[in-house]
A and B are shown apart, each in its own frame.
Chain A
């Protein structure tokens, strides 16, 4: 990895594109890649925890976006500073894997492998059933999250 790519913000979009609203994180990743290719290094990821820890190894500033299953209305946007506080298990427990994002963050904390900055966005999904259909609420939340990420990282890459 060269210096330029190290200074870029790493954006990891987590999800499965064939599982309804689970695709949200990947869609955010695609949009960020189109809008700001110079400021971001973008990875689409299936959410398996151990490889997430590898994915952010060496990066200073990391943003992860994942769909979550919570009791909140579909499209609700969560934002957590994972360096400051543990992820609320209630929101992220329904992760794609038994060893998923939540476990990756906490294991990395124990092993001192968290990046200096780790912001995690969660988008509450409506349906995670198989298929390519995204709910309208999540589609709208995807655009909001893209704007929010671009705004909060402006000039920081």
Chain B
């Protein structure tokens, strides 16, 4: 019997160890395991006994890539507990902030992490040697997203500018106006990005996933909506715990999320797109169609196109919000804590992020639950690899190894909140 092991660092993170192993016996895959470390468990304990208004600031530290998502889910959960609605311009500004985070996160993933896979480069540094202008384009997009998050989210200050009920301070109208010019260029760059990535070679790979995302009556989802799936799930956020369960597996510190009695599911850009194509702006829809992407995409390797379409949408939506911006009377609505349980679920760049808090009548947090998107996709990633390796058994080891890494990156697994080293090993016996 021949045995072969290759280990490759796919991702890096300061915390813990993560590893993915694929075992092959004869001509069959016999096991796939993704082991990761998951800090939200620590943060759940850390939040107990803290004041309600600390939750957005503390949870924003879980992930360096998507702090806005954590702030938003925390705020919405607290507002739900206190029976509060944030409407009008404050609600619009929250959407604007989310646009900024999607632009940053998607630009980083598309240009710096995923595109080199498709073009055969080890990383974006190697890619930059041959495609300098392309990488500069990615950095420009990233920078435009950063500018929104820095202006409105106040990332470099403490506490961050987001609070339960709204913001601490609303930037002046002229500061917003300065963003608009760059956003117009960024929108053009995003359209170019869709055209560019649509030409990449995509492995033929599809599975019959259950996609899960938020759906709102009038908008592509960021902060609000019902939780729906491609197999008929349609529930309010408060019903999350009745339908979703987290399973603890012996091989992983992380919990694997499943839909009760149904199994694994798929969250993130592909799920959002498939369940909300009709809610994209006309420009984003048109760009998607022109690239050859239909209103439904089941190939996770093509998620890079969908992420790029979402880049177009996020720039377009940000410009719409800026066009209609009027200074709100107050940066936040008044918050009066009361005893209760609050649920929040928003669309982080990588998919739905669920928060639940129980607070007492002084606004002290009694317990917290946080379910990040990456842990919801873990089982689906494992199943993808299982099927992918099974179907491509005769592929040379190097190519197989490379495409497996690419398959993991399809999900843009959140390295900050999920794992340190993800070492992929393929053992053939």
Contacts and interface: CB of A to CB of B under 8 A. Distances in A.
B135 interface: yes
Nearest to A112: B132
A46 B160 CA distance: 13
Contacts of A16: 14, 61, 64
Interface residues of B, number: 37
A128 B139 CA distance: 29
Nearest to A67: B14
A96 B139 contact: no
Interface stretch (B90-98, B123-131, B358-366): B123-131
A48 to B, nearest CB: 5
A19 B420 CA distance: 13
Contact of B142 (A51, A98, A103): A51
Nearest to A109: B125
A98 B12 contact: yes
Interface string B125-159: 10011001001101100110010000000001000
Contacts of A111: 128, 132, 135-136, 139
B12 A97 contact: yes
Interface in B223-249: none
Contact of B64 (A48, A67, A94, A128): A48
B39 A98 contact: no
B125 A94 contact: no
A106 interface: yes
A116 to B, nearest CB: 20
Given A69-B14, A94-B12, A103-B123, A48 B132 contact: no
A131 B125 CA distance: 33
A75 B200 CA distance: 46
B39 A94 contact: no
Interface in B373-429: 415-416, 420
Nearest to A96: B14
B13 A130 contact: no
7 contacts: A18-B46, A19-B15, A48-B64, A48-B65, A110-B128, A111-B132, A111-B135
